[in-house]
Amino acid sequence: MTAARRRMMILTEGQLGVFTAKTATCLVRYCPDEVVCVLDSVAAKSGHPLESFLSVGANVPIVSSVEEGLEFAPTQLVIGIAPVGGRLPDAWRAIVLASIRAGLDVVSGLHHILGDDREFAAAAKTHRVQIRDVRTAPPDLGVAQDLLRGLKQRRVSIVGSDCSVGKMLTALELSKALCARGWDCDWAATGQTGILIQGSGIAVDHVISDYVNGAAERLCYERRDREIVIVEGQGSVYHPAYSGVTVGLLHGAMPHTMVFVHQPSRKEVWHYGNFPLPPIAQGIALCEALMAPIHPAKVAAIALNTVDLDAAEADNVIRAIERETGLPACDPIRQGSSKLAVAVEAALAIKK
């Protein structure tokens, strides 16, 4: 999705099949042409294919060293899984250094900022490669400045009932569906995995709180020549810990319409079990009430994550939620996203 095609070697060293590698899985699923190999010496030794670990990536080779990976001509090493314990293990240090010496850029979603590491920084300078820490906020970020007023661009914010319900996936799938329908559409990544997939974006939860709205505004303004921009959401507008991020992101993007994402089996806020989720209609009404005073926007459709339901249950729950809310709903993975795309076009009053 970036202009210059990336060729990624993804580092999962020793963790394939041990931890759920959300980032690796998403990169392989959504950037299949850009992932040239996965570096994991333990998995390589097992002889099992990548698909047996991630359910995707049948044709992606697993290599056991940087040297071996170089055969597939990667341009960057991507670290998309956190090391156990948070500290960078020595084995990983050696891999990062070997990659830099081999002329690869290093892209990291870790909390540990690799660019601040003196040894890595010095090596990167010597070998003229870039270290990109995707969690680092742009240094020149500031408060929102009402830059989006008057742009022709139409904006769609992805909101939802909780963390980890499928907002990034919905942004990505809806963007694909709108592109397929002839629109010049792009989506803006606001979290680590999305940024690694997109190759751009801002991890909005890591910017100074004063600048959250400004970060969202910048992501849209950078895409001002696109016909439609989808903004990945974070958290929920009533999340006990992350609502500040959510609301700043929503207001900063000044959307013309929204898509609400929910996992019907989820009954409490993820990791905050004392907080029951409110009815979906209440969540939708709250998102709309937040937009009403400054940039009125309605929820156009509902994306449902029914991964933990069988086909019949999924069908029932989707229809029940459509009846309850009066809005079109679907599971973008089971059913595709054209229903969402049609609803968004109608809400934006645009037609190809």
Min separation Cβ 288 and its own copies, Å: 10
User: Is residue 145 a contact point for its own copies (CB under 8 A)?
Assistant: yes
Selected binder of its own copies within 180, 282, 316, 319 (CB under 8 A): 282
The answer for residues whose C-beta is within 8 angstroms of residue 140's C-beta and 6 or more apart is none
Binds its own copies (CB under 8 A): choice among 47, 85, 139, 293: 293
Q: Which residue of 115, 200, 275, 322 would you call a contact of its own copies, by CB under 8 A?
A: 275
Q: Given phi > 0 = left and psi -120 to 50 = alpha, else beta, which region is 100?
A: alpha
> Between 90 and 146, whose beta carbon lies closer to its own copies?
146
Q: What does the per-residue mask of binding to its own copies show for 174-213, with x meaning CB under 8 A?
A: ------------------------------xxxxxxxxxx
**Contact call for residue 272 and its own copies (CB under 8 A):** yes
Asked if 223 is part of the footprint of its own copies (rule: CB under 8 A), the reply reads no
Tell me: does residue 245 bind its own copies (CB under 8 A): yes
260 binds its own copies (CB under 8 A): no
Q: 3-class SS at 114?
A: helix
Find the helix packing angle between 118-126 and 90-101, rounded to 10°. 20
* Greatest extent of the chain over all pairs of C-alpha atoms, in Å: 62
Tokens of 312: 């019949």
Among 179-187, 192-200, 247-255, 258-266, the segment contacting its own copies (CB under 8 A) = 247-255
163 binds its own copies (CB under 8 A): no
Judged by CB under 8 A, does residue 49 bind its own copies? no
Task: Name the minimum Å distance from CB 8 to its own copies.
Answer: 27
How far apart, in whole angstroms, are the C-alpha atoms of residue 330 and residue 309?
A: 13
Q: Check residue 292 for interaction with its own copies (CB under 8 A).
A: yes
Q: Chain centroid to CA 51: how far?
A: 22
Interface stretch with its own copies, choices 17-25, 97-105, 224-232, 236-244 (CB under 8 A)? 236-244
Q: Which residue has the tokens 């020595």?
A: 90
Beta pairing, strands 185-188 & 131-133: unpaired
Does residue 62 touch its own copies according to CB under 8 A?
no
Structure-token match 């002839």, residue found: 182
- Phi and psi torsions of 167, nearest 5°: -70, -40
d(Cα 333, Cα 130) in Å, to the nearest integer? 35
CA angle 137, 138, 144 (to 5 degrees): 95
Q: Which residues of the shown chain bind its own copies in the complex (CB under 8 A)?
A: 143-146, 149, 204-214, 237-249, 251-252, 254, 272, 274-275, 277-278, 282-283, 285-286, 289-290, 292-294
